[in-house]
Amino acid sequence: MTLFWTLAGALMLLAFFVVLVPLLRRRPASASLPGVSQDAVNLSLFRQQMAELDTDLANGKIDSAQHQSAKLELERELLHDIDDAGAAAAEHATRGRWLLPLLALAVPALALAFYQATGTPQIIPRLAASATQAPVHGSTGEMPPLDVLAERLAARMEQNPEDIEGWMMLGRTYFAMGQPAPALKALQQAYALAPDNLDVKLTYAEALAANNDNQLEGQPAALISEVLAADPDHINARWLNGMLSFQRGQYTAAIQSWQRVLEQIDPASSDAEDLRGLIAEARQRGGLADEAPATVAAVPTSAAAPKADKPAAATPAPAAAAPGQIEVNVAVAPEFAESIDPSTAVFIYAKAAAGPPMPLAAQRVTLGDLPMTVTLDDSLAINPALKLSSFPTVIVGARISASGQAMPMPGDPQGETGPLNTERASAPIQVLIDQRRP
């Protein structure tokens, strides 16, 4: 019996040695590369991918919309990877403090319990129970929502306030969430750290404008000029400089800036199409319409002028609204009218078919008011510098806002027309809210 316990004790010591030595030698995976953390590896890979995206944009392989979408996705993935790596490191560090003394007691105790249980039917359920109780970290593999990632990054930036790219990423994340005020605060930090970085400077200028009714006059204009002085062909700076000239009424200068951007991007891209629309609008406002192709082709055929050989009295044309006015009749599909609270806000708007994305005129009503007819005109302008009467081709729409905010959100029920010529469209224009915003 003594020999048995001696052998059992020796075996327990051997098992204790086998378990503890690997634990004592364990190091984080990143320790195989001295001075390199997992966060640094993730950040290096992110920079590589961002450089490839910038190269594809410069070569015309993707347009700026695709570039911005891919950039946001990379930033979200980086936020997720950095957070997971930090959590894993914290878990490893915490586990190391209590696991060794626990094992010092657990190994012999478990060995004795195993011996006493050998040959009994209870051993199988015990092992099964112990296996099912083992915690699994991150088993779902789901990416947290954008607001959660923003909170985590904001907390991380408090610990590392010198990270320029982190502040830039946080600012863009807030922009993607439709929160320009916190975006400006984050980008102020980036600008304070790197006032000479062209991309930081330009993004900061956009944040300033976004918090001032999209007006580029003042400090944003000065920052744009500084970027162009350092890089005259900077695409985003040229685009913003054209918009600044447009806001100032300097339409020839706006056209020149946007023409230089057109020379650097894919002529078949959606960005190029939008720019051509802006250039046409600038020519029309500046009395330079004869220098550009007519834009009638952008108007639906149903709104085209009558043929010259058709007698004017044969089919009377519908009465058109007064210049700068659009009458809109808005209705809602039954599935939305029956399932949404009648007090929910509804925004009825008109926006440029080719131009700034913000509405030119908008009116707020409630769902219970529909169907109804409203008149959109310059008195309902969102930005006094961008009036409805100044844009000959517009898109008219209506959107139900569950949040009560003017900022569109995914899933909002909405309805929109195609491009309409405001000088020829009949009144009222019919809009049906019958689909959800993607």
378-416 pLDDT, tens digit per residue, is 888 776 667 788 888 888 999 999 888 777 888 899 999
204 and 223 Cβ atoms separated by less than 8 Å: yes
Percentage with pLDDT > 90 across the chain: 10
Q: What is the mean pLDDT of residues 44-50?
A: 79
225 and 238 Cβ atoms separated by less than 8 Å: no
**Residue 26 has which token pair?**
């364990």
Phi then psi for residue 318, to 5 deg, are: -65, 150
- The three-state secondary structure class of 352 is strand
Residues near 406 by beta carbon (within 8 Å), at least 6 away in sequence: 347, 362, 364
The fourth-level CATH superfamily of domain 325-436 is Carboxypeptidase-like, regulatory domain (2.60.40.1120)
pLDDT over threshold 80, residue 362? yes
The C-alpha atoms of residue 277 and residue 282 are separated, in whole angstroms, by 9
Q: What is the mean pLDDT of residues 281-295?
A: 63
Domain regions of the chain by residue span: 232-289, 325-436
pLDDT over threshold 70, residue 15? no
The dihedral region occupied by 178, where left means phi > 0, alpha psi between -120 and 50, and beta the remainder, is left
The C-alpha atoms of residue 382 and residue 362 are separated, in whole angstroms, by 7
Give the count of beta carbons closer than 10 Å to the beta carbon of residue 352: 23
More confident residue, 304 or 171: 171
> Average pLDDT over the chain, rounded to whole?
74
Q: What is the pLDDT of residue 293?
A: 38
Pairing of strands 345-352, 361-366: antiparallel
pTM of the full predicted structure? 0.40
What is the separation of C-alpha 41 from the centre of its chain, rounded to a whole number of angstroms?
Answer: 24
Percentage with pLDDT > 70 across the chain: 67
- The three-state secondary structure class of 151 is helix
Pairing of strands 325-332, 429-433: parallel
DSSP 8-state code for residue 147: H
Find where tokens 């009648």 sit: 342
